[in-house]
Amino acid sequence: MSTDRRSFLSFAAMTVAAAGIGALDLDAQAVPQKQRANVKNTSFGPLKHVDAGVLSVGYAEAGPPNGRAVILLHGWPYDIHSFVDVAPLLAAEGYRVIVPYLRGYGPTRFLSSETFRNGQPSALAVDLIALMDALKIEKAILAGFDWGARSADIVAALWPERCKALVSVSGYLIGNQQDGKLPLPPKAELQWWYQYYFATERGQDGYDKYRHDFAKLIWQLASPQWSFDDATFDRSAASFDNTDHVAIVMHNYRWRLGLASGEPKYDNLENRLAKGPAITVPTITLEGDANGAPHPDSNVYLKKFTGKYSHKVINGGIGHNLPQEAPKDFSDAIIEADSYSK
């Protein structure tokens, strides 16, 4: 659900037809969603834990320990189960697959009660670097959606030496507080209703009290054609019971609007990100044809990717939670992006 507001402003002003962009590689195969997601796993097995930076990170791992590393990153309000069908597909291809819970989700915890519960994007990206350091992973393929795609984009932009290839749902999601203050056209503002709700104390209390119902509503709005069952939702919803979850979510959205301050130690990173740095690593961006969440048009961010690049639209009623709704397409994109770097 997290997207660069500047992209929305640019998109609102655009009249260029998508057919005129020859660099796009569109997947025109309209396969019904229920036929695509033919792998149905329900769990990862025992989780692992590692101290990384300011966190004790809970994560799932699959595949050979000496395989090429792939790190899969979830968003809000989702968790690692977005990749429960992706991980075994990649493991079968010989990849070492790491799927961490972000700060504020599941078993991931802060090592100190004194640490500020910071949800700003650069902090989450630093978490990813710290995890790679803790696991002694020098370089990895990074893939994600929503908050996870933003973190992967940031690492690819600022630390390209740590990113072998990138798969990013909804493209280039790097933004900054100044852009967050710019008004959008009314229809675009309407899509961000929850961001303004979270800006209030009532919104914080309401999300705390009704977080599971709230998350289910977001799932339904973001993926209107995805017929997920209660068991699928409940597996992910359990991760929102993390004691830091509400604080992290509130700070993330309030920071974007300039209503909450970040930590000074991230100021340099945020200043670099505010310039909209290009991403040079091999990249595939993905979009579902039925994504009901706020997201920029691919024409807006096309030129942000200066390495080998392609964009794919995944058809068949695929919404915002693309890896869980179309796991084979997502894993295929990772394998293809990996081939770009060879």
In order along its 342 residues, the chain shows pLDDT tens digits of: 444 444 444 433 333 333 332 233 333 344 455 445 455 899 998 999 999 999 999 999 999 999 999 999 999 999 999 999 999 999 999 999 999 999 999 999 999 999 999 999 999 999 999 999 999 999 999 999 999 999 999 999 999 999 999 999 999 999 988 887 889 899 989 999 999 999 999 999 999 999 999 999 999 999 999 999 999 999 999 999 999 999 999 999 999 999 999 999 999 999 999 999 999 999 999 999 999 999 999 999 999 999 999 999 999 999 999 999 999 999 999 999 999 987
Looking at residue 33, its pLDDT comes to 52
CA distance 272 to 327: 33
**Long-range contacts (CB closer than 8 Å, 24 or more residues apart) made by 15-19:** 16/299, 18/297, 18/298, 18/299
- Mode of pairing for the β-strands spanning 48-52 and 55-62: antiparallel
Contacts of 136 (CB under 8 A, 6+ apart): none
CA distance 296 to 168: 12
DSSP one-letter string for 310-330: EEEEE-SS--S-HHHHSHHHH
CA distance 336 to 342: 10
CB 98 within 8 A of CB 69: yes
Looking at residue 303, its pLDDT comes to 95
DSSP one-letter string for 149-207: HHHHHHHHHH-GGGEEEEEEETS-----HHHHTS---HHHHHHTHHHHHHTSHHHHHHH
Torsion angle of C-alpha atoms 70, 57, 112, 270, degrees rounded to 10: 30
Quickly count helices (H) and strands (E) in the chain: 16, 9
List C-alpha distances in Å: 257 to 11, 71, 206: 20, 29, 19
Burial code (b: 16+ CB inside 10 Å, e: under 16) for 78-112 equals bbbbbbbbbbbbbbebebbbbbbbbbbbbebbbee
Looking at residue 39, its pLDDT comes to 56
The residues that bridge with 9 in the sheet, in sequence order, are none
What does the angle CA 329 – CA 47 – CA 145 come to, to the nearest 5 degrees?
35
Q: Which helix (H) or strand (E) holds 121?
A: helix 121-134
**223 phi-psi bin (left φ>0, alpha ψ -120 to 50, beta other):** beta
Q: Does the pTM of the predicted model rise above 0.85?
A: yes
- Mode of pairing for the β-strands spanning 109-110 and 309-314: unpaired
Residue type, 254: R
